[in-house]
Amino acid sequence: MNSDGNILVFNSGSSSLKFQLFEMDAITPASRVRGVVRNLGDDAICEWLSRGKREHTSVSAYDHGTAARYVLELLEHITDAGQPLLHTITAMGHRIVHGGDTFTAPILLTSRALTALDALSPLAPLHNPPALAVVRACQEHLPDIPMAAVFDTAFFHELPDYVRAYALPAEWREGSRPIRRYGFHGLAHRYMVEHFSTIHPTNTPSSRLITLQLGHGCSVAALRDGHPLETSMGFTPLEGLIMATRPGDVDIGVVLHLLEGAEVTASELSEGLNHRAGLLGLSGASADMEELLALEARGHSGAHLAIEAFCHRARKYLGAYLAVLGGADAILFGGGIGEHAPEIRARICAGLNWCGLELDTQANEAAAPDGEERISTADSRLAAYVIPVNEEALIAQDTRRCLSTALV
């Protein structure tokens, strides 16, 4: 198995499929093509960037497997020196959200591994099955190409026991599928930490960092010496910050009340918590932060409520994690909202002067989404940065290491 050459990475979201083809001959992966199939269903669109040219087209892709097959066909038609890029692929890497307690490092995707991953699907029903559908579509199309799985939960596997444990009866916590806090967005948080250490080597390995991954899903983590001590997501990606369509922290009594009153069924509850809560539920208008900011500017009360609640929850977690770490050296923002919404960054950081954070208003407004930027003043005791996250690059590197190990 050749671990260099070109590695194709698939990153499955709940309603989208990101992809990126990397040339791996250099130490740092070089992107040759990157894109996304978004809005899976009737209105699916594929957008991609190749050789500096951006293109897009409507796609008939109702599920992730179909989207993956379309991407593979697309790479058959994109050529380099007369050779289809599809034929240059020597390995593939796949992001799998939930590895449970079984998978805590990248693995080679064998038939036995896929069977074990199928058994974990109930832990992440919105994420694992679509990702596995992508894997199987790729195996059908390119049966001789080795593939690796990289897990979002792996980064948080070594959280302290007192952080991982829920205060629940032992028979619930210690069953065949242990109920505990797993943490998610591990690749994003790990990318921010590792990238920050490359641009600030003097702060490693003793730095205390708080990382905020703010996108459709949102989470925050507290890290010391590059190792996570806390994170906001738990047994599922529902816990923690307010997200686009997920509520974050909710009194479990609300769930009991709805179920015991027969107001909703379990399936209706799951659908509501995953798809109709969060920013969408609070605003009654949109799950998209850019749209909400525009609505708020026009006086929409629901949009204002959603944005204020979103920023308050993030600021509350920042304060808690400053206490966990005993202070911090830097706060890092990543994700679609974290990288593209300076107003949200400013509102989250508002009132944090007490802990030494002085935001540079001009730098925050000017921060470009394609490169890391310091957005705190030069003399701010607590630094703040925007770190654009590239999960696919991390997956490609992990895939190369995984396959290299398999060769030994």
DSSP 36: E
Is residue 152 part of the annotated active site? The answer reads: yes
Question: Is residue 338 annotated as involved in ligand binding?
Answer: yes
Question: Is residue 240 annotated as involved in ligand binding?
Answer: no
Query: Exactly one of 152, 161, 251, 398 is catalytic; which is it?
Result: 152
The CA–CA distances, whole Å, from 77 to 30, 73, 84, 134 equal 20, 7, 6, 20
Contact 133, 141 (CB under 8 A): no
Q: Report the Cα 44 to chain-centroid distance in Å.
A: 21
For the four alpha carbons of 334, 339, 343 and 344, in that order, the dihedral sign comes to negative
Question: Is residue 375 annotated as involved in ligand binding?
Answer: no
Question: Is residue 391 annotated as involved in ligand binding?
Answer: yes
Spatial CA neighbour of 313 closest among 237, 387, 214: 214
Tokens standing for residue 73? 């066909």
To the nearest 10 degrees (0 to 180), the angle between helices 266-275 and 252-260 is: 140
Burial class (CB in 10 A: 0-12, 13-18, 19+), 27: exposed
Question: Is residue 353 annotated as involved in ligand binding?
Answer: no
Q: How many CB atoms lie within 10 A of CB 75?
A: 23
Question: Is residue 358 annotated as involved in ligand binding?
Answer: no
Q: How many CB atoms lie within 10 A of CB 169?
A: 9
Question: Is residue 340 annotated as involved in ligand binding?
Answer: yes
The values of phi and psi at residue 309, to 5°, are -65, -40
Question: Is residue 339 annotated as involved in ligand binding?
Answer: yes
| Residue environment code for 116-127, b if the CB has 16+ CB neighbours within 10 A, otherwise e | ebeebbebbebb
18's CB contacts (< 8 A; 6+ apart) are 10, 11, 12, 34, 35, 36, 391, 392
Question: Is residue 11 annotated as involved in ligand binding?
Answer: yes
Vertex 37: Cα angle to 138 and 285 (nearest 5): 140
Q: Catalytic residues, which ones?
A: 152
Known binding-site residues for Mg(2+) equal 11, 391
Known binding-site residues for ATP equal 18, 336-340
